[in-house]
Structure 1
């Protein structure tokens, strides 16, 4: 499995090139900010028309990561759907695919700011999920340790190329957005540069995940 291994609060974790996180000792796969149904939401609100294939592509990558890791638990860290209406509007084939994936393991949905209500899909719904020594939630909280979160869609630049990135310091990990139609926030943005400790690193996603000092 191609990834970048690192410790957080005593847990040994692997950042996968896809943007997913794997915790071998728990056989747990974690992803954040899928934003399924984004093209439907844009069309519904009169925005730019996007090709309606992002949900299939995101779920295909998630299935590939699940097949590779054979994880028995999946945690989705919030904003799994672009909003609650987008979740309800998913085509039956896409709902069936989610149900199929969720039937293979324990599936946990963390509520996000885009999708605070249950999506009427298989799995457990939690505001946050503690699994010692870590806690999984959507948005990072100050003065915590062992926290795994998402929300910010972090990205970082190396040699002129910008890639989604994990951000890691001794207290917390922030996952990149996993969804196909998701933008990103540069790690130099004050929302991230003030949140992460001075010696934080960015783990760039891609075929070979690469750790660099977090660009500020």
Structure 2
């Protein structure tokens, strides 16, 4: 594995689809059993992710920001940022395509339904950005990759003059708060154990 002495945040293109289709699993499955159960890493799920990212890359309302391993070109960090209009409903990437038989359908419905409900409650009526997904390959944790991706997303939001909404799991809540996000609500997905998600908003900086 590369020592990753340097890297840059770049926008994804179609050549990145193969590694984009596994970045969620590489980021979350080693430390998040809930995500591993709800969105498992299977051939069907990789096709689902490739379909989603194909749409995202082509959509001018979305920025698919990535960090790449400089030796292999593999996506090792991802942040998707979507601009939503005042009356746009849903939760971006998470509600664009039908779930598959490989999803844990009920847990997915509760997780994404909570995000949609809270985002619409908090943000409807004004244009804003949605951080749909932020993840860093677990093998590359601790190298400031997530911070650099989120900082770039915040720059984009500030340049446009809009607030930014994100649903973050409990382990990521403080990370977002350090970059100016404020807690506006919480969603509990019932299970064994319960799974907590925090609704956070960052106001634009002048």
Please, what TM-score do these two structures have when normalized by structure 1?
Answer: 0.31
- Which structure: greater strand fraction? 1
Greater helix content = 2
TM-score, scaled to structure 2: 0.32
